[in-house]
Structure 1
Amino acid sequence: MEKIKILIVEDEMIIGANIALQLTNLGYDVLGVIPRAEEVLPKIHQTLPDILLLDIYLKGDLDGIELAHIIQKEFNIPIIYLTANADEAHFNRAKTTNPYAFISKPFKKLDLQHAIELTILRIQEEKKSEINELETFVMSDSIFIRSHDKMIKVNINDILYIEAERNYCKIHCKDKEHLIVSTLKDLEEKLNVKNLMRIHRSFIINMHHIDEIATSHLVIAKKAIPVSSELKKQLLLHIQKV
């Protein structure tokens, strides 16, 4: 795995150097210690840190909170504030930037380590959420399905039927199967396509690929799929319209 890249913004260079040493010993990639607010954005453009350790009380025209607002207009970088005796007013201002943690100076090595580790854990959880949100998305004639680190296009006309497997769905196509993280109910809401119909609590079928319709089931690609009498009536009405 690549090392987590951390940029330190601290105008007391002895403190900054000490933090950098501790982080390096913990196995992180320290991109530098920046004492002045105006030097931070160029450094971020150059190095793209994963985490920003930012002192609230910076010397100069901008304090750390004002700098954070400027950074967040362009970058989505998790911020951990370094602070010495922050009063309520500064704390409330800092909260508006949604920091991942606060570390009060002077701090112990373990405080720093825990703040970084919790931030990394939160980053990982947020990335998982983003992946789940992008697990599938639907166009008028196709559905994009996540496969490892890419999205694969599946034509809706090629879908034979979709089968529920707990919190997963297996999409059966003419020549391939795709397993996605989704309940059948959620997928049904996304797939608002007239030739796809849910005929059972565990199945959505493509009406264009029905080979047989029997009393209590239908057949698609040699697969017998159960259907209730009520849903069968709805299915026959839909087929007449398709």
Structure 2
Amino acid sequence: MKAKILIVEDESIIALNIKEMLSDFDYEIVGIAANGTKALQLVTAKTPDLVLMDITLQNREDGIEVAEAISKIYSVPIVFLTANDKNKTIDRAINIKPYGYVLKPFKAIELKTAVEIALKTFSEAQKLTAKISDITSENLSLQSKLRVDEHAKKRLINLPHGYLYDTENFELLLNGEKLELNEKENKLLKLLIKNLGKVVTVEQIEDYVWDGELVGEGALRSLMFRLRQKLPKDFIACHSKIGYKITL
């Protein structure tokens, strides 16, 4: 595909000469503008791949300021054209990071070289920017995953026989599958896990599971029996006449 070039030059003879040079090198000229207003209109309408910008335009309009205005609305490489070789002017042009600077009068091959270098440099810069953006996105995704993993580590408690207890959702998991427990079974398990390594007394269990309500000894035995039926035999150890604890 031909590269599209916008020429911003107020001297019509020079502009047509530039157009003829670039057309001979198989570039597509999408327009010629003699002032900043026209240049901005053509940039928006034609979306050129490169702008050749004369530094001094009609009515002494500043081409450097026009280039700055273009850069704010559209990402495009800009190559300056000028007969002014004063250091002050060159320094001002360099400050807006152009992709080339050609002094008049110039030969066709000099113009072609400047355009080719600008297009190539801009393309490489775009690829680099995209790569950096991809890397940044990957890093953010990885950071997010690490935060999730770290959070998961903090909320999951390792238990015997490969069981995990999710302290956020209050669920007992095995191989990623949730073990179905009723409300009282879950409350009992939660209490035992909160006291890992300790024997939880019968009184503590009754007070926690039944909210202080007086229940018979058989109620706790029945609840413990149902819970232990769903777990490996040695998962919950019984300490006679004292209470229960999870075996670590």
TM-score normalised by the chain length of structure 1: 0.56
In the alignment, is the contact (CA less than 8 A) between 2:7 and 2:31 conserved in 1? Answer: yes
After superposition, where does 1:1-242 map in structure 2 within 5 Å? Answer: 2-60=1-59, 62-136=61-135, 137-138=137-138, 143=141, 192-195=146-149
CA distance 1:194–1:29, change in 2 (3 Å): same
Deviations for 1:192-238, whole angstroms, at most 9, x for unmatched residues?
34538xxxxxxxxxxxxxxx9xxxxxxxxxxxxxxxxxxxxxxxxxx
CA distance 1:13–1:132, change in 2 (3 Å): same
How far off is 1:96 after superposition?
1.6
What code does the residue aligned with 2:123 have?
Answer: Q
Whichever structure has more helix as a proportion of its residues is 2
Q: In the aligned structure 2, how far is the partner of 1:126 from the partner of 1:139?
A: 21
Quick one: higher RCO (CA 8 Å, sep 6+), 1 or 2?
2
> Could you say which structure has the larger radius of gyration?
2
Query: How many pairs align?
Result: 150
Q: In the aligned structure 2, how far is the partner of 1:64 from the partner of 1:192?
A: 50
Q: In the aligned structure 1, how far is the partner of 2:89 from the partner of 2:144?
A: 44
CA distance 1:61–1:110, change in 2 (3 Å): closer
In the alignment, is the contact (CA less than 8 A) between 1:31 and 1:49 conserved in 2? Answer: yes
3-state DSSP of counterpart to 1:60? helix
Q: In the aligned structure 1, how far is the partner of 2:34 from the partner of 2:56?
A: 11
Deviations for 1:94-139, whole angstroms, at most 9, x for unmatched residues?
1121111111111011101110111111112112212212335259
What's the Cα RMSD here?
Answer: 2.3
Is there any run of 5+ residues in structure 2 with no aligned partner, and where? 151-161, 163-248
What code does the residue aligned with 1:118 have?
Answer: I
Is there any run of 5+ residues in structure 1 with no aligned partner, and where? 144-186, 197-211, 213-242
Q: In the aligned structure 1, how far is the partner of 2:128 from the partner of 2:149?
A: 31
Whichever structure has more strand as a proportion of its residues is 1
3-state DSSP of counterpart to 2:85? coil
CA distance 1:195–1:20, change in 2 (3 Å): same
3-state DSSP of counterpart to 2:146? coil
Sequence identity (%): 33
